[in-house]
Amino acid sequence: MFFAYFDESGDTGMERSPTGTFALSCVLLHDANWLSALDQTIAFRRYLRDNFRISPRAELKASWLIHNKGDIRPAGLTYPARLAAYRAALRFQRKCGLFRSFTVLIDKTKIQRRDLDVRETAWQWAIQRLERFGTDRKDNIHVLPDEGHGEFIRKKIRAMRRFSRVPSAFGGPSLDRKAQNIVEDSSDRRSHESYFIQLADLNAYAAFRRVFPGASFGPDVYEELGEARVTEVNRLSGGPTGIVVWPK
């Protein structure tokens, strides 16, 4: 079974929102590799302590690394040093060889229907990708999101276990893709208590900047993930590897 850790970046609001996007990022880890991945992540956090003065107890949060806030501020790092730590976290996932990651990025500026539920749309795309990921590997998936929207996510997964149809990439009738390999109800995790949720948070913002580069945070940061990216999630639709962008 795969564990699917999720975190969000951006805002779901459609009117007077501080951001024009909403990103939902997933870090996938097989249960057989869970303890090894945890041990390697603990070792990586010690590396950050020794080289960047970032405590293993600190929450590794994208916005805090970028803006020098929260648990990151006591380290007294310059922006280039904080960006180097950010890159190291993505590179670690690639080098570890046990993590897989993808992101759903909603571009709210292109949505004509202003009453659209952005969070529901992002989760629908994500669950569809999880269903395909599990089916291709003949394995089940358990979802572990950041706390805050647990009841909504549980209802969404339950509904898509019973009914889920997706358009065919090659035309013709839609396909029956019930998410029956997503087992049990989702289990919320507090981000400050989960290293893996923190990795998903970093991946979400890096994916956003891969599509919408910033002046001091370029698209190359996301590329540090390398082979950890789930290439099949957007192989047919195109775009940056491992990022489902909607609408096109």
Indicate yes or no: pTM above 0.85: yes
- Is pLDDT above 60 for 170? no
| Cβ atoms 96, 37 nearer than 8 A | yes
Contacting residues for 133 by C-beta, under 8 A, at least 6 apart: 2, 28, 100, 141, 230, 232, 233
Note the pLDDT tens digit of each residue in 95-135: 999 999 999 999 999 998 888 999 999 999 999 999 999 99
pLDDT at 114: 82
Note the pLDDT tens digit of each residue in 57-88: 999 999 999 999 999 999 999 999 999 999 99
CA-to-CA distance for 157 and 89, rounded, in angstroms?
Answer: 30
CATH number for the domain whose boundaries are 2-246: 3.30.420.10
Note the pLDDT tens digit of each residue in 183-239: 988 999 999 999 999 999 999 999 999 999 999 999 999 999 999 999 999 998 899
The residue ranges of every structural domain in the chain are 2-246
Higher per-residue confidence, 196 vs 150: 196
Q: Are strands 175-176 and 165-166 parallel, antiparallel or unpaired?
A: antiparallel
CA-to-CA distance for 221 and 230, rounded, in angstroms?
Answer: 17
Q: What is the mean pLDDT of the chain?
A: 94
In our burial notation (b when 16+ CB lie closer than 10 A, e otherwise), range 75-89 reads: bebeeebbbebbbbb
| Cβ atoms 129, 233 nearer than 8 A | yes
